[in-house]
Amino acid sequence: MKILVPLKRVIDPYAKVKPLGDGSGLDLSGIKFDINPFDEIAVEEAVRMKEKDGSHEIIVVSIGTSDSEEQLRKALAIGADRAILIETEHIYDSLGIAHELEAVVRAESPDLVLMGKQATDDDNNQAGQMLAARLGWPQATFASKVEAAGTRLQVTRETDSGEEVLELPLPSLVTADLRLNEPRYIALPGIIKARSKPLEKRPASVMSSPKTRTVRYDAPPARAAGRKVSSVDELVAALQEKGAL
């Protein structure tokens, strides 16, 4: 099985960022970047699948500038076999990403696209669904368990009302949720091996115009100070004053 894992370079989710004074962007001075956490879970799951069946091949792909090489090398250190960087400075929205990934899928012909359910920087949760629609592939989103059986997949996905189990034929697309796995610690031998694994650079093949654009960045308003109450009656009275009851 050939598994394609798209990944995105994002701001470290634990970093504190501030908008620029004019609202035109974010102040990224001194900010650390990493693999989008949901994408790292997808890489880990692909590697676990390969550990069960050594015939699997794992390809990781990222769209962006040469800065994304660092995140691709990390994915190779986790256990991916080779990497592709679609090198571009073009700004994509979710649909643009789906178009670009579609071109990669058409060229590589993977059996499975396994990707994070969303990116922690924009939280759109759209690219996976759009890509599956463009490919005409079956999809399972928010996966908490993935089991391969021949030419089919059984995917347990999380919903608002509980768990749902789907069976999909290959090729198909799956998006990873937080509880799918916990990514491994990368040991030194993996980092050393990653240096010799192939990382191919390709130009962007689809330069679609974004359907959406970011108008302005603003920091969220400061929280109002809290208030302590000494009894339930006082709490109820305070809530009534606010019109909450």
- Kindly indicate the confidence band of residue 160, based on its pLDDT and cuts at 50, 70 and 90: confident
What pLDDT, on a 0 to 100 scale, did the predictor assign at position 112? 97
> CA 140, 125, 85 angle in degrees (round to 5)?
90
* Helices (runs of H) and strands (runs of E) counted in the chain: 6, 13
Q: Which domains does the chain have, with CATH numbers?
A: 2-215 (3.40.50.620)
How far apart are alpha carbons 69 and 120 in whole angstroms?
A: 19
What pLDDT, on a 0 to 100 scale, did the predictor assign at position 197? 95
Q: How many other CB atoms are there within 10 angstroms of residue 135's CB atom?
A: 18
pTM flag (> 0.85): yes
What pLDDT, on a 0 to 100 scale, did the predictor assign at position 77? 96
How far apart are alpha carbons 195 and 77 in whole angstroms?
A: 8
User: Is the pLDDT at 89 greater than 80, yes or no?
Assistant: yes
* Residue 230 backbone phi and psi in degrees, to 5: -100, -10
User: Is the pLDDT at 61 greater than 80, yes or no?
Assistant: yes
Q: How does pLDDT run across 121-140, given as a tens digit for each residue?
A: 988 999 999 999 999 999 99
Q: What mean pLDDT, rounded, does the chain reach?
A: 92
What pLDDT, on a 0 to 100 scale, did the predictor assign at position 63? 96
The torsion region of residue 188 among left (phi > 0), alpha (psi -120 to 50) and beta comes to: alpha
Q: How does pLDDT run across 181-190, given as a tens digit for each residue?
A: 999 999 888 8
Q: How does pLDDT run across 2-14, given as a tens digit for each residue?
A: 999 999 999 998 8
Average pLDDT in the 89-93 region? Answer: 89
How do beta strands 33-35 and 18-19 pair? Answer: unpaired
Burial of 6 from C-beta contacts in 10 A (0-12 / 13-18 / 19+):
buried
User: Is the pLDDT at 207 greater than 80, yes or no?
Assistant: no
